[in-house]
Structure 1
Amino acid sequence: MGLKPAIWVVIVIGLSACRSTGSKSGQNPLMKQYKDPATLAPPEPEDPSKVPLTLWSPSQRRATASYYFMAAEFAALKERDAKKALQLFEAAYSLDPTPFLGGKVLAARASSGDRSEALVDARKMVLLYPREAQLRYLYGDLLASEGKSDEAILQLEKCVELDPRHEAAYLELTELYQNNKQVYKAIVVAKELTKNVPSSVSGWSQLGRLYLSNSQYKEALTPARRAWEMQSSNPQLTQIYAVTLQLNGKLKQAVRIYEQLYHFDPTDEELTGRMIELYRELGNMESAVELLDEMIKQGGQAKPAVQMQKAILLWELKKDKEAAALLDKLVLEYPESDRVKYLAAFAHERMDHTDQALALYDQIRANSPLRLDADVRSFLLMSKAKKSGESLFNLGQKLLADPQLTWEAYGVIAGVYGDLGKHEDAVNAADAGYKRYPDKPRLLFIKGVYQEKIGDRDGCIKTMREVIKVDPENSSAFNFLGYLFAEKGENLEEAEKLIQTALKLKPKDGFYLDSLGWLYYQRGDYKKAQATLEEAVKIEPNEGVIYEHLGDAKKALGQKEAAKSLYQRALKGNLEEPDRLRIEKKVKAGD
């Protein structure tokens, strides 16, 4: 409605010009009489592209072209009729062939869906008006839309050369360079834009984004701030500035900007999450909880999600009891929510309320996406609480049958089976996991460990060699295989190479030094063994077998009392049952 008076004035001027050029009737010969000019829908000529020869006066042609131009703008903007607008723009251009009207024809042709013909016309227009920046821009834009980025870049570069203040051309150039993975060139163009058009909010914003995408966080600060200062009420620009401050470690400033942004939309969960992360980095978790309390007051569908987030923050504040109470209340309010039950179960798990946690995990529906996770948590809980071995084993078998089981869970199940003494089942679990996840050699290593425990020494050696082949950085595999040989006094030369490789990968590892010390013992180099094992026991002071090995070295050097003392100390350390029985015999033998 606001455009009608202006358009009508131009039409009246055009009609007046027609009357002044000698039309006796005072009417444009290309127009039919229409009744209501206020409707801005005057009828068009039968064929606007055919202009009568009687319109020889330049002023009359320009005036009539103005009429067609305004009618075309009306068709494009008000009626949304691109084809009708194109026909009228073409009529205007045929009467007054200016670069401006030529550009309008190109834009209308592209909008009407005939982009290929628009591209042909654009090429002609650029040849006809080589110094018209806007035509270069339109041509470049059409080329870009057709995927011809290199040609588009040439035209857009020419455009900004002709018109150094052409903002749209600069912006499109930056996007094309960025898409071509030429971020440096995109940054250069964006800097030129901000230099030539310092009032360009889009230019400063784009420069900041480009620096961020290129991990140039320090350089992004100034453009991000300039864009924000120009439009501080723009949520998007505010967020970019806040993120930039955060990435530069200016956390307190970032919090203030985020808080400003929060007032735009206090229900924005993503923004709240960012603010919580900032509070966490600042160590101000109480403020994070207050922020969530504000969101809870807002209500709405996000309320349970916000309360769950609050429970997580309470855990970080070591307020486990308060978190559990909040989640228990949520379980009553939202009994159908499996996620609420899962978090409530985890809350009780943190407080060692094993039975309550297991009961809540058990309530999660069989078809829930959280069912598998709940079973894994239950499996770990039952193992920790030393629940019935049979029920634990059966749950493990159920988990192994699930095709969505993670590779970490395969390793956990193998470990629990090992603790239950079901070493063969542990081998099978790890083997199944490695077949499912062949890019996880850790599972292959676990398989080898349990192969050794079931007495399959040859299988273990083969498996460990395979681990070393697929994962040459796996220090544990080098050490395990080296110790396997050293323990039996076999292949000692290869064993030393293997253990030394493990120590290169992980220097000063107490277990690896124990392996090396035991290898020296097997060679009969007891002094070297003693020195190495003394270093190992300093690093791992709670490992019983290392004390045993050091005792053996002392005994071989004739230090029987020292050896006995070390055996007794070994019994106080971490030991598996077979090791304990063996060391007890050594203590008795020394009496």
Structure 2
Amino acid sequence: MYKILAAMSICVLLTPVLFAQEIIDRPLEPKREKAKKIYRDLTWATYLRASRRFPEARDVYQRVLHLHTSSAFTHAQLANVSLAIHDIRTADQESRRAIEINPKNPLPRFLLAQVMFKRTVNSRQKNWQPVIEQLRKVTQLDPDYVDAYQYLGEIAATKEDPELGKQAFKQLTRLMPYQPVFFLRLGNAYEDLGDSEEAIRSYERAVKIDDTMWQGHESLGRLYIASYEPAENSIYSTDNPTAELINSAVEKITKAISAYTKMRRYAPNIPRQFDKMLGIFRARLGSLYLTADRPKQAIETLNKIFIEDPEHADANYILGLSYQEIKDFEKAEFHLRNAIRISPDRSEPYNALGYLLAELGTNLEYAVDIIQIALKKEPENGAYLDSLGWTYFKMGKDELARIELEKAVKFESESWEIQDHLGDIYLKIGMKNNAIGAWQKAKTLNPENKKIRQKIERYYTKIK
């Protein structure tokens, strides 16, 4: 009995196995056999494409299309590998067929745009508009299609269309906000469109992501200087520039110096003349600090120039004036003499050194000689005539002082300092009414000057 039960148990256990084997051995229905073959071929084609065996992948995709002609996916993949092996005609045909089958799929449209791009590059007539329209259809179907925007950006650069570039790179910075090159290219587009503020913002973002991107620093330096120069012109075209204007100019040129310094650090093969340009910008900043009555900052800025260029004429000249402001007259004289030695054809250092000596009351004959050198170069310079007249005043040569100061006023009628000096000489030679008149003009030009007000009050009362 137990033998019968054992045999029955074995039959029960073997039945599922035998049934499964029967299913495996049973042929598939024709339509399922076809699907199996298509799936197998597509898997193999994908492997071949990933292995960059494009001709073999193309053959497999073509075999699949014989089995399933209405597959938009397969037509698109065949177009893709055809592009890879430069079979432009097949890529064109297959991408268009894929679009016919499924017009809402962005991939075949992008492949067709690539075909059109290649043909336009190689054609004599560069008609980019159809390519742009096709790429825009891609982005309409998929607003996050990165490759389409990259192609639009390249076309914008090729056809010099900054508006198209702005549109493309704005989208790329949205989709890939940590790619500094897209912000750099967006800055280029804004700059070409004349929108300096947006260009600066884009470049600043680029170097914030990657501080070593020297192209961004170079662009920032250029734009900072461009925005600085009108402010500098405004400052030096008026006798009393506002603190706000000066501070704005200081901020802009300081940023420019910082940007160019980083460019110098990161860029390969910077020419030697670049250091001279950087020195010029530092000298201009030093001059601004001096104009803003911040001589210590001027000195700190200007001394950095000597690390690269110890013979910098502008730095020596402005340093001389700055040291004079803080009453370090020995260093002031040293740097002004250096400026004359380095650049003997310039007139300003001669005048500045002569005026310094006149203020100190030392070596006055020499002061007259070097101021006259400056005047030979610029005979109608009111500031130089003032220096000469003031030196004569210090020497006690009152009539010569009056003559030179009256000439100075003709050329520099808006200088309160020359009017003040003229008032002093008029007072000394007994022309008190003329002195009061000169000081009143000085007061009008510089109403905040207490010393001039005190002179008027003191001597006006005496005349009364």
Structure possessing the higher relative contact order (Cα contacts under 8 Å, 6 or more residues apart):
2
TM-score for the superposition, normalised by structure 2 = 0.49
TM-score normalised by L of structure 1: 0.40
